[in-house]
């Protein structure tokens, strides 16, 4: 979370962008909301292959972006959450055929208990030798920021830190390498956890949509869900044509930081010329357009009605000048756990 040193004149907001796709099940028979059928997955892979996308290793691409080393244009990373057994049957062979890497975020506490549902350590080891990265999704897929009764704040934080550290330790022991990549279960995070992960050199990923760029917050990197309602190829094509909205991501609130409902969100532009663009629009889960108030260097966004309990999003887009069908994209996740009166 260091300071940004982007000179306005040299700022190119389309440079060094990484789209990360997020899948769960790849199976014809698993629940619709988190699944993509093998046929549809194949359509995604064919589209990536025939349209010049560069499938990159997640940890290497992130490292390059952080160091300011150029990524290939149209770089895409593929990720799978939860490490389901069906990946070995329907998804990973398709990647292997194309010599493409992917990252599998796993829960050791679940895979050790339910061997018929999840890839085993032996299988993960096999796939890591085929070029797949095995990464951290927590010990047993707990809700990390929904503190259970009977825990003090400090005790709860300790429990979650232990879940992350034990998972990383197991990956290192079983697979032989630790990349310190964490995907938040359910995409839920909070400020204390982000700070702790940054202090401990972890890179962390949410489930809010968007693109990774040098100006991203590396404790809450966005990924595009590509399963369920997002599995359609036309949706995927649209997401692949996006860049990270050029705002100061270090100033964003955590999903839990709602002091009013609907919450007001302030975005600070990295380049003032964006502030006057009237094509900028934001949408609220289940509501339609949000109200937008443009100021000199920033913009205020607020839903018209209170957000529902649970997870919501403000999704914002802006067409890219001189690049038809391309959009800057940004998504702010919200988590409402109780009504704010
Ligand atoms: Zn998960």
Backbone angles phi, psi at 176, to 5 degrees: 100, -5
Q: How far is CA 265 from CA 190, 262, 310, in A?
A: 16, 10, 18
CA of 217 to the centre of ligand 1 (A): 21
Do residues 326 and 242 touch, judged by C-beta distance below 8 A?
yes
Structure tokens at 167: 């998972």
Do residues 314 and 265 touch, judged by C-beta distance below 8 A?
yes
- The model's pLDDT over 154-192, given as tens digits with 9 standing for 90+, comes to 999 999 999 999 999 999 999 999 999 999 999 999 999
**pLDDT > 90: what percent of the chain?**
83
Local confidence band at 11 (pLDDT 50, 70, 90 cut-offs): low
250-336 fold = Immunoglobulin-like (2.60.40)
Q: Element (H or E) spanning 181, and its range? A: strand 181-183
CA of 107 to the centre of ligand 1 (A): 8
Mean pLDDT of 28-53: 93
- The model's pLDDT over 75-91, given as tens digits with 9 standing for 90+, comes to 999 999 999 999 999 99
CA of 27 to the centre of ligand 1 (A): 16
CA of 216 to the centre of ligand 1 (A): 22
The 3-state DSSP class for residue 312 equals strand
- The model's pLDDT over 243-274, given as tens digits with 9 standing for 90+, comes to 999 999 999 999 988 889 999 999 999 988 88
CA of 37 to the centre of ligand 1 (A): 18
CA of 185 to the centre of ligand 1 (A): 5
Q: What is the DSSP letter of 43?
A: H
- The model's pLDDT over 57-80, given as tens digits with 9 standing for 90+, comes to 999 999 999 999 999 999 999 999
CA of 186 to the centre of ligand 1 (A): 6
The 3-state DSSP class for residue 83 equals coil
Do residues 136 and 167 touch, judged by C-beta distance below 8 A?
yes
pLDDT, position 26: 95
Contacts of 7 by beta carbon, 8 Å cutoff, 6+ apart: none
pLDDT, position 226: 95
Local confidence band at 237 (pLDDT 50, 70, 90 cut-offs): very high
Return the biggest CA–CA distance within the chain. 56
CA of 70 to the centre of ligand 1 (A): 31
Number of residues written out for the chain: 341
CA–CA gap between residue 147 and residue 90 (Å, rounded): 36
pLDDT, position 9: 43
CA of 82 to the centre of ligand 1 (A): 5
CA of 181 to the centre of ligand 1 (A): 14
- The model's pLDDT over 271-326, given as tens digits with 9 standing for 90+, comes to 888 877 889 999 998 999 999 998 889 999 999 999 999 999 999 999 998 899 99
Go through 134-169 and write b for each residue having 16 or more CB atoms within 10 A of its CB, e for each that does not.
bbbbbbebbebbebeeeeeeeebbeebbebbeebbe
List, in sequence order, every residue forming a beta bridge with 135; answer none if it has no partner.
105
- The model's pLDDT over 121-139, given as tens digits with 9 standing for 90+, comes to 999 999 999 999 999 999 9
CA of 11 to the centre of ligand 1 (A): 35
Q: Report every protein residue that has its C-beta within 5 angstroms of ion ligand 1.
A: 81-82
Q: Which CATH class is domain 15-243?
A: alpha beta
Mean pLDDT of 334-339: 84
CA of 341 to the centre of ligand 1 (A): 32
CA of 315 to the centre of ligand 1 (A): 22
The 3-state DSSP class for residue 105 equals strand
pLDDT, position 10: 52
CA of 187 to the centre of ligand 1 (A): 8
User: Residue ranges per domain, the chain?
Assistant: 15-243, 250-336
- The model's pLDDT over 139-149, given as tens digits with 9 standing for 90+, comes to 999 999 999 99
């Amino acid at each position: 979370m260091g300071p940004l040193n982007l000179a306005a004149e040299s700022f190119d907001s389309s440079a060094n962008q990484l789209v990360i796709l997020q899948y769960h099940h790849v199976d014809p028979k698993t629940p619709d909301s988190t699944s993509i059928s093998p046929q549809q997955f194949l359509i995604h892979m064919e589209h990536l292959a025939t349209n010049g996308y560069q499938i990159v290793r997640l940890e290497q691409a992130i490292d390059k972006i952080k160091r300011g080393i150029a990524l290939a244009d149209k770089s895409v990373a593929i990720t799978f959450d939860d490490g389901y057994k069906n990946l070995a049957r329907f998804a990973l062979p398709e990647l292997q055929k194309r010599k493409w890497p992917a990252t599998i975020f796993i829960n050791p506490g679940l895979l050790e208990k339910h061997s018929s549902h999840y890839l085993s350590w032996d299988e993960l080891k096999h796939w890591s030798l085929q070029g797949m990265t095995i990464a951290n999704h927590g010990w047993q897929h707990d809700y990390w920021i929904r503190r259970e009764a009977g825990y003090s704040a400090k005790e709860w934080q300790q429990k979650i830190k232990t879940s992350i550290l034990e998972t990383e330790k197991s990956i290192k022991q079983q697979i032989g390498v630790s990349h310190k990549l964490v995907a938040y279960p359910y995409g839920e995070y909070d400020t204390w956890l982000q700070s702790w992960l940054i202090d401990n050199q972890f890179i962390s990923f949410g489930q809010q949509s968007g693109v990774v760029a040098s100006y991203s917050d590396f404790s809450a990197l966005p990924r595009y869900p590509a399963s369920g309602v997002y599995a359609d190829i036309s949706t995927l094509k649209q997401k692949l044509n996006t860049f990270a909205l050029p705002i100061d991501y270090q100033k964003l609130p955590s999903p839990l930081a709602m002091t009013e409902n609907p919450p007001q969100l302030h975005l600070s532009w990295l380049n003032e010329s964006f502030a006057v663009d009237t094509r900028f629009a934001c949408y609220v889960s289940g509501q339609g357009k949000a109200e937008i108030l443009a100021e000199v260097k920033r913009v205020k966004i607020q839903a018209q009605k209170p957000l529902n309990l649970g997870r919501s999003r403000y999704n914002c887009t802006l067409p890219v000048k001189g690049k038809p069908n391309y959009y800057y994209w940004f998504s702010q996740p919200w988590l409402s756990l109780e009504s704010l009166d």
